[in-house]
Amino acid sequence: MILGIGTDIIEVARVASKVEAGKGFRELVFSANEIQYCEKQTKKFESYAARFAAKEAFLKALGTGYGGSGAQFHEIEINNDAFGKPSITLLGNAQQLIQERGIGKIFVSLSHVKETAVAMVVIESLIGQ
């Protein structure tokens, strides 16, 4: 059963300006693994923006928004497998959401172009599996 669906779109320039400001935004929002991945990309700001959008989309699918989840942005980690397929790994306080909310599978899709990035997240409930 689907627990929630979330989507988010963001301007790449907005994320780029925050990351380039060097005031801790990058470390506050992104995990060490995400930073390492994005920094290796030719279009790193598009990758950062897509990950930011995925975190927002996850919180929307959860139905809590940022303030109601108890999770920090860097605890919602976006990874890619060997074929580039993205996935979400929950760390720290965010990991507790799996048990508290009865979360089963989490599906994520990312897309980005020069100016915008978009993500969609679908969360399945453990009920009915």
Active site residues: 60, 112
Buried/exposed 14-24: b ≥16 CB within 10 Å, e otherwise: ebeebbeeeee
The residues near 92 (Cβ < 8 Å, ≥ 6 apart) are: 71, 72, 75
- Residue 46 annotated in ligand binding: no
Range list of H helices, the chain: 12-21, 25-29, 32-40, 44-62, 65-69, 92-101
- Residue 81 annotated in ligand binding: no
What dihedral angle (degrees, nearest 10) is formed by the CA atoms of 78, 3, 113, 25?
A: -50
Name the binding residues: 8, 56
Name the binding residues for Mg(2+): 8, 56
